[in-house]
Amino acid sequence: MVTIQDTELKEGIQEAIERAKVLSKPVLVSEVQKINHIDPLSFYAAGKSRFFGERFFWKDPSGETYIIGLGVCKQIQSDQSAGRFNSVEKEWKRFIDESIVFNPYDNKAIGPVMFGGFSFDPLKEKTKLWSKYSDSLFHVPTFMYSEVKGQAFLTTNVVCTQHDDLSLFEKVGVERGAVLDSIENDLPQQGNVLLKEVDINPEKWMNTVEAIVEELKTGSLKKVVLARESRLVFEKRIEIERVLSNLMELQRESFIFAFESNGDCFIGASPERLIKKYGESVFTTCLAGSIPRGKTEEDDHILGDALLSDQKNLTEHQYVVDMIKEAMEESCTEVELPDKPQLMKMRDIQHLYTPVIGKTRDDASLLALVDRLHPTPALGGLPKKEAVEKIREVEELDRGFYAAPLGWVDFKGNGEYAVAIRSGLIQGNEASIFAGCGVVQDSNAESEYQETKIKFRPMLTALGGNK
Ligand SMILES: C=C(O[C@H]1C=CC=C(C(=O)O)[C@@H]1O)C(=O)O
Ligand SMILES: [Mg+2]
């Protein structure tokens, strides 16, 4: 049981209603309180009955930051394609500038935070798979639990209109009390059975890989990332909490995320950071080039060493390094990166990995950096524009939010975006899972196909389809 003593929320609501009258538009009041630790997954689960379809979950790979949101007090979305990063940022800034924030703490990821993401390619023809997600979609939660370096905070966000009155304060208090009272530490155990697993057109996908390899040998394109889908049908509705719990247990080194919208849930465990910005410091990652894990420790070392000296994978990786380095040098005063990749080992796969750090020039915003980086050649290809056009033309899959930036930004401009790979879209008792790989001149369709099979594994296992 968590007891909350409200201090400023009531006064804040009063003030926000007055401000809403003057501005003739809704005004946010945000209050941050330090609370005792709550299990992040239990907080998420506590919102199930009241806020299903309006929740999000985020954990960074270090486990330093957890952000869990329940309810949506403000939605920011944009269906425009050109300038969508900028238009989301502008709307967010305007919203924050007019808001009233009570927050005596200096931590990141507390107070008003918007969580969400962007589709991979807004110009790709839409299918009904992603009908619940617009091309840019962000939620500011009503209640948000943040755990930052072991300290726990609860943020309450209330949007007040000129027609509201102080009864809003009572209403929010009752709702928050109900959420906190329904926190239970044990997740219900529920078995589910995988009835059907359909790989969508694998032969056609391999033919496309072969055709692209031929194109890469002659034209100006150097790399194209091609992805595919597998569709799973279960006996019962998929329990998002259970999938998250499995991901937390099995993919500890990854970003773990869930983003619900209108009853669907985009979920995954990505090893890939697109960009993190804390103050002026920025961190990004070049991640491309893959090999399986070994069955024994010795095997694993042999495979890792083979990856570190494999020319096809080194080329695939280097394209990403070159592009990210150029983008960072444009936006930063200092950029540091090692001159050779190292290994990143996850449960199911190992990758070539080059971390990059920098200091932003003229305080470039996080979303401006996302705009500059997305998609890196780890998800799009090289040259960027031609590769994205090629994917739009030849790929059967509607990527939606797969392979695109997903993450958060707080009201001070700090935040982090992952590249949403190793992910899937849950729709009731069905799920689509996605995986792709970097196709270069030396690619072989069969081995790229095997690579996508390994990349399906984190989600397949978490869903209960592959023990
Ligand atoms: C496109 C995916 O992985 C990317 C990230 C790491 C390694 C990759 C590769 O080796 O092909 C891909 O570029 C995916 O997991 O769906
Ligand atoms: Mg690869």
Tell me, in angstroms, the distance from the centre of ligand 1 to residue 377's CA: 10
Query: What CATH architecture applies to the domain 194-463?
Result: 4-Layer Sandwich (3.60)
Residues with CB under 5 A from ligand 2 (ion): 290, 437-438
For strand 100-102 and strand 27-35, is the pairing parallel, antiparallel, or unpaired?
parallel
Tokens 């939606």 sit at which residue? 400
Atom 1 of ligand 1: nearest residue by CA position: 436
152: its two tokens:
């726990």
- Say if pTM beats, i.e. exceeds, 0.95: yes
Q: Report d(CA 435, CA 439) in Å as an integer.
A: 13
The pLDDT score that the predictor gives to residue 467 is 54
Q: Which ligand is nearest to the CA of 270?
A: 1
Alpha carbon of 387 to ligand 2 centroid (Å): 16
Interacting residues of 299 by C-beta distance below 8 A, sequence separation 6+: none
In the block, tokens 């946010």 appear at: 28
Identify the helix (H) or strand (E) that includes residue 10.
Answer: helix 9-23
Query: 132, 223, 390, 455: which one is catalytic?
Result: 223
287 vs 178, 297, 344, CA distance in Å? 43, 23, 9
- pLDDT tens sequence across 157-187: 999 999 999 999 999 999 999 999 999 877 7
Complex ipTM: 0.99
HSE of 51, CA atoms in CB hemisphere, 13 A: 27
What tokens were used for 294? 């070994």
- 451 has which bridge partners? none
Query: What pLDDT was estimated at residue 451?
Result: 98
CA 379/CA 420 separation, integer angstroms: 10
Block residue for tokens 């209050």: 31
Please say if 272 is a catalytic residue: yes
Query: pLDDT tens-digit profile of 348-383?
Result: 999 999 999 999 987 789 999 999 999 999 999 999
Using the mean position of ligand 2's atoms as its centre, give its distance from the Cα of residue 450 in Å: 10
Domain coordinates in residue numbering, the chain? 4-181, 194-463
204 is catalytic: no
Q: What is the enclosing helix (H) or strand (E) of 354?
A: strand 349-360
Q: Which residues of the chain have pLDDT under 50?
A: 1
Q: Can you give the pLDDT at residue 1?
A: 43
Query: Closest Cα to residue 102, out of 32, 166, 160?
Result: 32
Q: Which of 224, 229, 290, 342 to mutate to test the pocket of ligand 1 (most atoms within 8 A of CB)?
A: 290
Atom of ligand 1 nearest to the CA of 289: 10
